[in-house]
Structure 1
């Protein structure tokens, strides 16, 4: 049996393996973090501040961290970011106040800001343009594989042993992944700078304001707006409609199950022709699903909708990632990825505190708001920026295949 292309590619095999393990660490903790905070006396408004502070830290740091990874390579930012996250995760064992929970979420945000742009840029570094949809689909599938059983396992552990065991287990995994990154990413941990006349070629900042990139940035904002909106309230919403700890964990896993199973098809679709139609249809479908989550407060219905959302996301997310890579200048991949994720985190930060405020008015309002924002911004981004860019054949300087340093890797 022939392996999928992403598993035949040695650098991607390493990236996907590390990503899957990181997904396990996240899946063990995230479904139960807000519930733990509430159980330890943290108010709903402070839980909203937890979510927004985590996202604001990323919003402020992802762009400069992306620039840093262009200069020093990808390996060190990835490893150090994971170690920072591990330290914060251990801190939750002792957290007992709103201030301590908020501070630890800020630290986790700093860690993710260091590693995420570097990891996304590394995927571009090591894959050809015509395969990037599959590469990003594999990236999402690997993360989903990590998330698949971790939330369910976390729910069982939380009910039998307690949440502190989850925090310690997740931190251990994050430290192991950091060590794995240092060891196994050696040799393909970043691009060589493009050099002309003996100096690194400088790319003006206005390249980030090109119309094709603006379309991708708007969609990043719209997509992450949903993440921020529900990061502080999802587990609480599930608990309020009668879900058990296991069902709360399962509500995170159903999305991952569908994503994992359908990702190969979604990746191939993302690499096939223009992407604007797929982005338009997929985002509008997700918008409808988000609204339905709030209108039908049934645990079973929500679990089934999670499967549908995961299936649609296998087309939506790789298509957006591949589109972004196709219109990005090879010399500033870290900067572009940093800007993309920074703008996304801006959307998430704006909505994170808003989610708890709206939920306090009525549980359905955050879902109606999230669906409407996604639908409106999708129509603007796709029809105003992405469709003209693709039909016009616009393309910035494409990233070379595996523009990777083959020496001097110790310095990276």
Structure 2
């Protein structure tokens, strides 16, 4: 990037886009599909999985395309597409129609995020890359903090579940305008060899996967675990604790905003600790937090809020180091490497979401005298998979000397 203003345009645009994606996928869609359309949880997660599937399929091609044509075009077009799909959702009636619209949203996300992360990777020296990635992590946490609250408030204040879709259309329109007006160049020169190599093919994707098979396996397992619960968190809070949409969102604001403020220090910490150590610590801590919530007995709501904050801390530490680790595998093909990892993560999320929806609706457990209702089962499975991922990180990741600025 050629200027500070372009950098901040990227960060602010990503903030509005992430807020839109969280509001749409985590807040608006599950409630709308269940309360208005009348679909069951298994069907709801199947519709949500179409978003993940399309994003997974197109992340690597879009990452390669950003290597070839530069980042700006994709960063501008992506949110514009979701403005249209947000409004079109209100006209849909059949699950297939919802699935098609979520597929287009997945394409939008696939266009946006590899280009955005690659743009950060292009612009920052390796020794500060975790810190730089933390800016996008900060926007991610801001989206998690405000998305459920914004969507819940829109619905509760208007008394209509459709209101949050108008909100998401506005958020993506703002993201589009910021990218178009304030992000004039991504700093990639026309003669850059990586641009000439930035074409996509199945062979290119396979080469990217073979460049770091252990990393791709770890990406799959982590996001399989996340996928088990990511589309069910709001429904779980409403079913288990009887909270309103607004209260659910309000419960996330303080911990998530606090973690957003910690994103940059945690990024610096990841640089100091080293990539492998940060990822191992983050995944191990996340597993412990999940087990504390997913225990067979119903945890107090106050502890669930605290656990959400602790989980967010582990996510920020892990993800900043993870994206920095991926960005250094092959700098000349950074876009397609990040895209391939995103594809692997997406496949894991899809399979996890499909299984999680089935478990939530159909699979209670009995462990001796202890009965576990079906809506808790996906959270137990998530804790188990993240524990496996933490163990896998010790086998896959090769420690490198910690960097200093």
- TM-score bin, normalised by smaller chain: 0.7 to 0.9
Q: Is the 8 A contact 2:5 2:182 kept in 1?
A: no
CA RMSD for the aligned pairs?
Answer: 2.6
1:139 equivalent in alignment to 2:151: no
Task: Point out the more displaced range, 216-225 or 152-161.
Answer: 216-225
**In the TM superposition, what is the alpha-carbon distance from 1:156 to its structure 2 partner?**
2.1
Match of 1:268 in 2: 268
Match of 1:119 in 2: 116
Please show how residues 19-98 of structure 1 align to structure 2 within 5 Å.
19-29=14-24, 30-39=26-35, 40-98=37-95
Please show how residues 218-257 of structure 1 align to structure 2 within 5 Å.
218-241=217-240, 242-253=242-253, 256-257=256-257
Q: Is the 8 A contact 1:27 1:146 kept in 2?
A: yes
Match of 2:304 in 1: 302
Report how many aligned residue pairs link the two structures. 380
SS in structure 1 of the partner of residue 397 of structure 2:
helix
CA separation of 1:97 and 1:334: change in aligned 2, threshold 3 A: same
Please show how residues 362-377 of structure 1 align to structure 2 within 5 Å.
362-377=374-389
Name the CA distance, whole Å, in 1 between partners of 2:120 and 2:109.
16
CA separation of 1:207 and 1:110: change in aligned 2, threshold 3 A: closer
Name the CA distance, whole Å, in 2 between partners of 1:202 and 1:87.
29
Name the CA distance, whole Å, in 1 between partners of 2:344 and 2:107.
16
Q: Is the 8 A contact 1:58 1:110 kept in 2?
A: yes
Q: Is the 8 A contact 1:221 1:344 kept in 2?
A: yes
Name the CA distance, whole Å, in 1 between partners of 2:99 and 2:244.
26
CA separation of 1:253 and 1:104: change in aligned 2, threshold 3 A: farther
SS in structure 1 of the partner of residue 303 of structure 2:
helix
Name the CA distance, whole Å, in 2 between partners of 1:299 and 1:273.
33
Q: 1:184 aligns with which of 182, 185, 190?
A: 182
Gapped regions of structure 2 (runs ≥ 5): 364-373
Q: Is the 8 A contact 1:258 1:310 kept in 2?
A: no
SS in structure 2 of the partner of residue 177 of structure 1:
helix
Q: 1:385 aligns with which of 376, 380, 396?
A: 396
Name the CA distance, whole Å, in 1 between partners of 2:218 and 2:254.
24
Name the CA distance, whole Å, in 2 between partners of 1:257 and 1:221.
28
Q: Is the 8 A contact 1:254 1:303 kept in 2?
A: no
Match of 2:371 in 1: none
Name the CA distance, whole Å, in 2 between partners of 1:330 and 1:42.
45
Match of 1:399 in 2: none
CA separation of 1:309 and 1:191: change in aligned 2, threshold 3 A: farther
Write out per-residue CA displacement over residues 296-350 of structure 1, whole angstroms, 9 at most, x where no aligned residue.
3443222121111112222111111112223x22221110110011110010011
Match of 2:368 in 1: none
Please show how residues 161-240 of structure 1 align to structure 2 within 5 Å.
161=158, 162-188=160-186, 190=188, 192-195=190-193, 200=196, 205=204, 208-209=208-209, 213-240=212-239
Q: Is the 8 A contact 1:218 1:377 kept in 2?
A: no
Q: Is the 8 A contact 1:58 1:109 kept in 2?
A: yes
**In the TM superposition, what is the alpha-carbon distance from 1:31 to its structure 2 partner?**
1.6
Match of 1:283 in 2: 283
Q: Is the 8 A contact 2:276 2:397 kept in 1?
A: yes
Name the CA distance, whole Å, in 2 between partners of 1:139 and 1:266.
13
Q: Is the 8 A contact 1:238 1:299 kept in 2?
A: no
Q: Is the 8 A contact 2:222 2:385 kept in 1?
A: no
Q: Is the 8 A contact 1:194 1:331 kept in 2?
A: no
Name the CA distance, whole Å, in 2 between partners of 1:201 and 1:59.
21
SS in structure 2 of the partner of residue 236 of structure 1:
helix
SS in structure 1 of the partner of residue 162 of structure 2:
helix
Task: Point out the more displaced range, 316-325 or 241-250.
Answer: 241-250
Q: 2:321 aligns with which of 319, 323, 327?
A: 319
Name the CA distance, whole Å, in 1 between partners of 2:50 and 2:285.
30
CA separation of 1:298 and 1:89: change in aligned 2, threshold 3 A: farther
Name the CA distance, whole Å, in 2 between partners of 1:215 and 1:255.
33
Superposition TM-score, scaled by structure 2 size: 0.86
**In the TM superposition, what is the alpha-carbon distance from 1:215 to its structure 2 partner?**
3.5
